[in-house]
Amino acid sequence: MATTLASLIGQHPTNPIKDTYKQSDSSKPWAKSYPPISRLKVHTSVRGPDSVVANFDAFLDEYDDESLRLSESGYPPNYRKWRLDTEADGIQWFHTEISNIVLGAFANYPNVLQASHEKALSDTRTDQTVDISYSVSQGKERMPLIIGEFKRGLLRRDQWQSGKIEAAQQSVLSRELRG
C-alpha cells in the first residue's frame, strides 16, 4: 500500500535476513598515503540489542523542498528473504531496502542519479572505482553528492562508538574512509 516517503524512510527494513557473518578485507594501496582518522564525533549510540539512539543535532532544519520530497507517495519493498553472504548480497540488499526508497524522494527537486562501480566524476584520470555513487546534473556536468564502498562485517562498533580506533584493520579502514 502506498504511503509517504517520509514514513517509508523512517521505517527500519522489515524483510528477514540470514547473515553468514563473513568479513570483507580492506587493503587499498592508495589509502596508505592518508593518515588514519584520530578524532571522531559519533552521533549515535547503541543501548542494547534492539536500541539505537541517534542525535540529529548536527543536521540543518528541513527546507521546503525537503518537505515536498518527503510528502511524495512511495511503496515499501516487496516481501522477500535475504541471505547476506557476500559483498554483492549486501549491495543488493542496500539498493532494494534503502536506496530505492530514498531515491523515490529524489525523482525530482532535483533528480538524483545512482550509478554502480563508477570512476570519479572529475578531470583527474583514475582507474579507481567506487561501489556506488549518487550525483545530480548541473548543466551538462554531473556533480557528485555521495560515494560509497561496501564492506562486510568490518566495522568494530565498540571502537568507532568509543572514538578509539585501535585495531590495525580499523585503522586501515579509517584511511580508506578519509581518502
- H/E stretch holding 91 reads helix 87-94
Could you tell me what percent of the chain has a pLDDT over 70?
97
- pTM of this prediction exceeds 0.95: no
> How far, in Å, are 11, 70, 71, 74, 143 from residue 59 at the CA level?
19, 16, 19, 24, 22
Average pLDDT over the chain, rounded to an integer: 86
Nearest to 160 by CA among 54, 40, 50, 25: 40
Summarised one tens digit per residue, pLDDT across range 48-92 is 877 888 887 878 888 888 889 999 999 999 999 999 999 899 999
The domain locations on the chain are 3-109+154-178
Asked whether the predicted pLDDT for residue 6 surpasses 90, the reply is: yes
Q: Residue for cell digits 549518487?
A: 134
- H/E stretch holding 100 reads helix 100-104
Output 127-136 pairs: Cβ under 8 A, ≥24 positions apart: 128/30, 131/87, 131/91, 132/91, 132/94, 132/99, 136/110, 136/111, 136/112
Query: What are the backbone dihedrals phi and psi of residue 31, each rounded to the nearest 5 degrees, phi first?
Result: -75, -15
